[in-house]
Amino acid sequence: MAKGSRASSIKANHSALKSKVFGPIETARTERLSAKLLALASAPRPSAQKDTGDVTMDVEDAAAPAPLKSALKVTKQADDMEVDKDTTQAPPSSKPSSGRIEKKRSARSRSSGIVFPKYKNGKKVGTKSKKSGFFPYKPFLPGLAEYEALGFGLGAPPKAPFDKVIFMVVDALRSDFVFSNESAFTFTQSLISNGAAMPYTAHATSPTITMPRVKAITTGSIPSFLDVILNFAESDTTSSLAAQDTWLAQMKAKGSGKLVMYGDDTWLKLFPDTFDRADGTSSFFVADFTEVDNNVTRHVPEELRNDDWNTMVLHYLGMDHIGHKAGPRSPNMIPKQKEMDGIVQQMYTAIESQKHLQNTLLVLCGDHGMNDAGNHGGSAPGETSPALVFMSPKFRKIFAGNESPTTAKDEFQFYDTVEQSDIAPTLAGLLGFPVPRNNLGNFIDDFLPMWRSVDDQCHLLVSNAKQILNVVTAAYPASLFGADSSQDCQNPSSDIERLGCDWKLISAQLENRGQIRPAHTDPLFYDILIWLRHAQDIMGSTASDYNMSKLLAGQVIALLSIVLAVFTVDLVFRQSYLFVLIVLLYSAMMFGSSYVEEEHNFWYWAASGWIASLVFKTARSSLTTSFSCVVVLAGLRITRRWNQTGQKFAGEPDIARTFLAEHTTFLWALVFSMYMWNCYSLSSTGFPHLPRSIAKGVSQLLAVMAAAFKVAFTHEDAPELLDWTANKAAELTTGFSLVTRARGVFIGIALALAQTIGAEYLAAVRRHRFASTRTIHNLLTLFLITQSRATNIPLLMIFSAQFHLLHNLDLNLIEVTITSLIFQYMSFFAFGGTNSISSVDLSSAYNGVSGYNIVAVGILTFVSNWTGPIFWTSATTIMLLRLRASGEKNVLKNYIALQTVFAATSLVFIMVACTELRTHLFIWTVFSPKYLYSMAWSIGQHLGMNIGLGSLLFWLGTY
């Protein structure tokens, strides 16, 4: 409902803006441009000779005057669809006597999906056969861009003010980490104050993860959502940008120096054979946030002394790792900010003092931000608002400076907001190379005063516009933009026709601009800048074409699996009407963005309603069993408040992050109680083929090793969660690395599993099959505890108690299946899971791993995020074994068939939803991530756990 109410409010505000503000503005603008077109068409063409006095101006005159800035400000503010009051004209700004430009800051659109008021948001997406599926790669123009004759009397490209660039990326550098009063970037803030730095909030479109963000920064285009998957597969090479035009390729083509890179090896994968010197580090080894940055910094002093490079890329990962481990408020965050600010100071000081660096531009930026949990990948304001700062001593001659530190105008919105794709064309102008061919970004007009000549400023904007025009005409008919086009420009029938008409008006002004005095170039600059942003918006909204045949083929295959599963079930579906109701209700939810975002509520209510129905059912036969259901219901109430998830109440106080963080002694009492529970379960009923004394010794050893690792891990990961006792325990167990400790736990569990399975398999008479299955369940639980955050471990104790109580109920197969289904999904959200990429927890992905191994890290990541569902898969197998022991036949087959019906049906409906809603506003921020999660549920949880692990445990219990 939250998303629905927001959308309604946005539509209302949009209508109000259009009727009160933009209707009159657009009417006046159309009349003005039409009159100008007629006047210019009848005017004589300018001579080739130009009066240089008319095109050369002082710095004060080179800046866009107040009328242009005021007009642009109105248009920029129009992008924010939450504005619901009339826009008033900004008064002209005065120029400072020092010759610097006094800039009034305004906010541009934060969402690339927002459409300018005069353009309708309803373009249908094509179905070209060269696309593949729902997540296709975007087409691109091959080859390297070259300077081309622009015409319109514009000569050679303007001379660039810089010939070197230091591009420093700090992973997850959220805007407030640099610009706010709480920031430790004190030196950077001093540069902003004295005018040596230009600050921005760079809007990063979803998905906010490293690979697609680096693609946007270097190409200026909008990456494919498929990069979410490729971002996790570090060995993947299909996402390489070797064949695409980027500003790195342009700098290499200049031949003025070498390219060097130190940091995240994503750059090496995206740009093979591009860098002359490089040292890459893995971006997924989140356990380390010190050495990973030291390995970058150690190269900086030497490279600053070298004069053989023109591009130096530095990508620091430590801040992102701190966020993943402990969130943005980690005690390690401020020291890390000071460290990064010190590196900025070191490089800026070198630029000031060393002659070979005097024409060097220093850029500091984040590839994305982070949310309050320290994660990213979604579209929350904190995730889409990284900082961006351009720094050079040359800027002091142009800019008067900005207040720094400062406060945000909106959530994480500091100073002007630009698109991340705007970086590429801006670097092209500042460093002197053609704009990359597939760029959709706009030159940041604040830097136009770096050129004194109006001709040079006009050249920069026109070259950017013609480059984007090439991209537009690759997707739409070029005839729409020709001077001889016959379309009606008084009444354009589509957005693209309106864009073509506007380009013809701009072309006419450019053809006759020789008659326009420099003081009157503002309307022309204004029109070009607005045209650039309109083109950017239209091309950005055509995210991808879809191969409908492949989409339909996937849906048909999933539908076929439903039919096969239904025919496999021996039960009559009349006996399982509640199961069918759950399947249909859940499937229908896939068409609502708010329901997808708040899915956890469905499963919490389903769990409560289901257990409540069991209370009434069992009350007729036994008050004891009815009381057991009441206890399970009470556990669900606690579970529901353990982690606040979704969008509406994300960040609200909960048990894990609020209560337990403040009551650490109580937290560790619960944690150690879970280890004792697991130890007691293993020693009392586990290892049936071992003597009791040895079984107890093995159980205690495993519990102590696992508890010692968890204490040591928390001491490194989140020391604020340790109480005095746990802190002392961590100090007493020093001497072994976390990797060694984790491997010791994993090896111990593996040996115990091997002994249990091997002893039962070799036994002459298999009398302990059920006890062996319970042993495996308890060992699996110990492994899940190891892969869980300390604050979530007590949840497994609640689940264990609920399983014990439910196991004693006389449930039939349908009831066991419904219980398993509901509790698998409920537990996923209880552990803090959502349908957003940003909730993927990587904190335990490297337990026992010393380097990046895609298989090991992938398994550990899945286990740590699906801990609850995996627990209930194992628990359900024990309940199924009890049903089989009571004489019921085809237990496993019917259970798997029913689970497959749910998995396949939900997958079909999310496929249909994504296909039908492929032009929806939230297709890339809500439905696409949900589709990725559905694949993880279907392949990882259903196929891997319910069928794979469940069948294995069932076979071991019946063999």
pLDDT digit string (tens) for 299-331? Answer: 999 999 999 999 999 999 999 988 887 788 888
pLDDT exceeds 60 at position 135: no
> Where exactly are the structural domains of the chain?
1-44+51-134+452-546, 184-444, 548-958
pLDDT, residue 704, reads 93
Tell me if residue 166 falls in helix, strand or coil: strand
Tokens found for residue 488:
């009606």
**Which pLDDT tens digit goes with each residue over 681-691?**
988 877 877 88
**For the residues 769-785, what does the mean pLDDT come to?**
89
**For the residues 143-163, what does the mean pLDDT come to?**
84
Gap between the Cα atoms of 907 and 227, Å rounded: 21
User: Which residue pairs from 859-866 have beta carbons closer than 8 angstroms and sit at least 24 positions apart in sequence?
Assistant: 860/787, 861/232, 862/936, 862/940, 863/783, 863/784, 863/787, 864/787, 864/788, 865/828, 865/831, 865/833, 865/840, 865/841, 866/828, 866/833, 866/936, 866/940, 866/941, 866/945
**Which pLDDT tens digit goes with each residue over 381-401?**
898 999 999 999 999 988 988
pLDDT exceeds 80 at position 23: no
Cα–Cα–Cα angle for 830, 834, 835, nearest 5°? 150
pLDDT exceeds 50 at position 271: yes
Cβ–Cβ < 8 Å for 235, 244: no
Rounded to 5 degrees, φ, ψ at 96 are: -70, 145
Cβ–Cβ < 8 Å for 1, 73: no
**For the residues 595-623, what does the mean pLDDT come to?**
88
pLDDT, residue 852, reads 64
Q: Which amino acid is at 395?
A: F
pLDDT exceeds 50 at position 63: no
pLDDT, residue 160, reads 94
Buried b (16+ CB within 10 A) or exposed e, 884-902: beeeeeebbebbbbbbbbb
Gap between the Cα atoms of 200 and 779, Å rounded: 52
Gap between the Cα atoms of 824 and 874, Å rounded: 11
pLDDT > 70: percent of the chain: 77
**For the residues 750-765, what does the mean pLDDT come to?**
78
Alpha helices in 127-255 (DSSP H): 175-179, 186-194, 210-219, 227-232, 247-254
Gap between the Cα atoms of 274 and 433, Å rounded: 17
pLDDT exceeds 50 at position 114: no
**Which pLDDT tens digit goes with each residue over 550-589?**
677 777 887 887 787 777 776 655 567 888 899 999 999 9
pLDDT, residue 548, reads 64
Q: What kind of fold does domain 184-444 have according to CATH?
A: Alkaline Phosphatase, subunit A (3.40.720)
Tell me if residue 234 falls in helix, strand or coil: coil
| pTM (whole model) above 0.75 | no
Average pLDDT, the chain: 79
Tokens found for residue 830:
């209880």
Tokens found for residue 734:
């020093």
Helix (H), strand (E) at residue 351: helix 333-353
151 burial level (CB within 10 Å; 0-12, 13-18, 19+): exposed
Gap between the Cα atoms of 333 and 323, Å rounded: 8
